[in-house]
Amino acid sequence: MLQIYGAYLAWYILRPYLAFDTDNSVLTSEYWSQLGDAIAIALDAGGLSIAGVGMLAATTAAMPLGLLAYHCYLIWAGMTTNESQKWADWRDDMADGCVFKASRQALQTHNRLRKYGQREANANGHNPTLDLDHEPEVAWPISSDQVIVCTSDGKPPMGQEALWTRIWNLGDVDNLYDLGGWDNFMGVLRGR
């Protein structure tokens, strides 16, 4: 907005120097010759401090507006700039059929059964890694039960094939930080 305002101020200051005969048709060489002369006079009168900075502001104002629009989209989508690149990579891998998801709890149970056997796994069902002495105040879950893997051969991890489901799009993946467009925006405004 500051760039647009700066371009407007430069135009407002230099407007008296931009006067020329507008009775000529836009398609004539006289019109373009007079316009070019008026612009040259205005640039000379304004110098680098007014005309140069005003032209720079006018020609580059669309860039930060595009960046603003992109970041508003990211807030709406509930992701950071870094995550947007990573999600794009995951989306490509999903299109290739190389991404699978499974339940973290099912994987932990499967691994305990493999390591300790049926009796020990049932007795040792407690998972100490999920115990938190102090949970920070956040509106989203601390962790997800969902585990996502990408394989190079398009097959689920060996020995656990029944636990994994192939996923084809990002809609099948839980984004812990996506609270919805409005709540994401309010969270950003509150510094969370």
Per-position pLDDT tens, the chain of length 192: 889 998 999 889 888 887 777 777 778 888 888 888 887 888 778 777 888 888 899 999 999 999 999 998 888 877 778 778 877 787 888 888 888 988 888 888 888 887 777 655 455 554 444 444 555 555 555 567 788 888 888 888 888 888 888 888 877 777 666 666 677 777 777 776
Q: Is residue 23 part of a domain?
A: yes
Q: Is residue 37 part of a domain?
A: yes
Q: Is residue 145 part of a domain?
A: no
> Does residue 79 contact residue 178 with C-beta atoms inside 8 Å?
yes
Q: Is residue 134 part of a domain?
A: no
Range of 46's domain? 2-60
Q: Is residue 135 part of a domain?
A: no
Q: Is residue 187 part of a domain?
A: no
> Angle CA(46)–CA(48)–CA(52) in degrees, nearest 5?
90
Which residue, chain included where needed, has tokens 């390591």? 115
pTM over 0.85: no
> 91: closest CA among 165, 143, 148, 147?
148
Q: Is residue 14 part of a domain?
A: yes
When divided into structural domains, the chain yields a total of: 1
Q: Is residue 162 part of a domain?
A: no
